[in-house]
Amino acid sequence: QKEVEQDPGPLSVPEGAIVSLNCTYSNSAFQYFMWYRQYSRKGPELLMYTYSSGNKEDGRFTAQVDKSSKYISLFIRDSQPSDSATYLCAMTDSWGKLQFGAGTQVVVTP
Amino acid sequence: NAGVTQTPKFRILKIGQSMTLQCTQDMNHNYMYWYRQDPGMGLKLIYYSVGAGITDKGEVPNGYNVSRSTTEDFPLRLELAAPSQTSVYFCASSYSQDRGLSTEAFFGQGTRLTVV
């Protein structure tokens, strides 16, 4: 079993819709949770990070962490064609190991 | 600020050849990572380092070696290249004050490696 599971998609939504992404994990040692965005042929860039269970908002983006269920989510409101990219969840344990999910390809159609 | 620099950007290797992928960062980050990304897939951790002189295996370390003699550099060595090592390789770095609780990881532009 992989330590971090993420549906690879693709996920296609019309412009203006809410995009919902999620990951599950099996390692209770993971403490720090992140979402990265990767455009084609580029390295990933950090979107959001959180340490504790609960919600965190940043503009159109909301990250949720439920440590009891080992489940994290990312919501993108009012999606734009420029949001089309691959979104990767990531998490670290106390030893500094940074692990990524498989990434979900998102396509926002005008 | 250069950030994380990887060289080369592209490379074609023959089966059995060896090469070193270079990675250097100028942000004084203590953590560094090597990942491989196969087409349509996520990032798989090969090796990581939490400081100079300290390295540890990730998910897929077989066929690779690393060293971390300085804070800035974290080269990845392929000893006997195999077609299964055809991939895009990303180096990343981050800073952590408290063990494991690192902040944003910055990525290099990647090295596209083909083994034929």
How does pLDDT run across B32-62, given as a tens digit for each residue? 999 999 987 889 999 999 899 999 999 899 9
Cα gap B102→A38, rounded to integer Å: 20
Residues of A in contact with B48 (CB under 8 A): 96-98
pLDDT score recorded for residue A69: 93
pLDDT score recorded for residue B1: 65
pLDDT band at B98 (very low <50, low <70, confident <90, very high): low
Contact A96 B50 (CB under 8 A): yes
Is residue B88 over pLDDT 60?
Answer: yes
pLDDT band at B80 (very low <50, low <70, confident <90, very high): very high
- For the CA atoms of B58, A55, A70, B44, the dihedral, rounded to the nearest 10 degrees, stands at -20
pLDDT band at B101 (very low <50, low <70, confident <90, very high): low
Q: Residue A31: which of B33, B58, B100 has the nearest Cβ?
A: B100
- Closest residue by Cα to residue B96 from A93, A25, A47: A93
Mean pLDDT, range B69-93, rounded to an integer = 96
Task: Tell me which chain B residue has its CA closest to the CA of residue A85.
Answer: B40
- Closest residue by Cα to residue A32 from B102, B108, B115: B102
Task: Name the DSSP class of A70.
Answer: T
Residue A66 in contact with partner chain B when CB distance is under 8 A: no
Residues of B in contact with A34 (CB under 8 A): 104
* Residue B73 to residues B17, B28, B52, B68, B97, Cα–Cα distance (Å): 23, 10, 9, 6, 19
Is residue B102 over pLDDT 70?
Answer: no
Cα gap B47→B66, rounded to integer Å: 7
Locate A66 and state its tokens.
């439920």
Locate A35 and state its tokens.
């979402």
pLDDT score recorded for residue A108: 97
Is residue A50 over pLDDT 60?
Answer: yes
- Closest residue by Cα to residue B45 from B31, B35, B32: B35
| Contact pairs from chain A to chain B, CB under 8 Å | 76
Share of chain A above pLDDT 90, in %: 72
Cα gap A77→A103, rounded to integer Å: 19
Contact A94 B100 (CB under 8 A): yes
